[in-house]
Amino acid sequence: MAVPSATRIVPYDAAWPVQYEEERTRIAEALAESAVAIEHIGSTALPGLGAKPVLDLMVGLRSMDDGERCQSLEAQGYEALGEFGIPGRLYFRKPPHPPRTHHVHVVRHGGEFWERHLRFRDLLRGDAELARSYEQLKQGLAQRFPSDREAYTDAKTAFIAAALGGR
């Protein structure tokens, strides 16, 4: 199903880490009793890399049984979408209508989703050539799928799997 918002890659913005820290603080306060850790993931977490201008934050919980407490994110302006196609993840986005500025992925701390996303982020942070290849792929996919976010995301899967395959 196509998502009716344009997929566009913009040049790196030095404000992204600052915006992440500000949002991280708000989320940490809202989820003080539940969140074990909060990480900046996705391309906005990669210094110098172009990205969709949407911050991705990953919140790790001790147990997904604590997921009910995450509904407090709605008071922070987030729309709760449940698992949104990924079992074991609670997904929130802000604002509820495009253009969006933040995505929050709530998962079990240390679980597969948690570890995979941190490994990929850290791999790209440590390998400039791989990061540039990923950026070029994303730019091409944004042109190919400008209004189909799902196809854009699916088309990155093989690259991510190959990058993580030997690590």
**Alpha carbon distance 75, 94 (integer Å):** 11
Give the separation between CA 43 and CA 131, rounded to whole angstroms. 9
What's the pLDDT at 4? Answer: 46
pLDDT recorded at residue 166: 55
Tell me the C-alpha distance between 88 and 32, whole Å: 21
**Interval 3-51: pLDDT, tens:** 445 789 999 999 999 999 999 999 999 998 899 999 999 999 999 999 9
Note whether 105 and 78 are within 8 A (CB): no
pLDDT at 138 over 70: yes
Domain boundaries, the chain: 16-165
State pLDDT tens for residues 68-127.
889 899 999 999 999 999 999 999 999 999 999 999 999 999 999 999 999 999 999 999
pTM of the full structure: 0.92
The CATH architecture to which 16-165 belongs is: 2-Layer Sandwich (3.30)
Tokens of 111: 């679980």
Confidence of residue 1 (pLDDT cuts 50, 70, 90): very low
- Cβ neighbors of 119 (< 8 A, separation 6 or more) are 164, 167
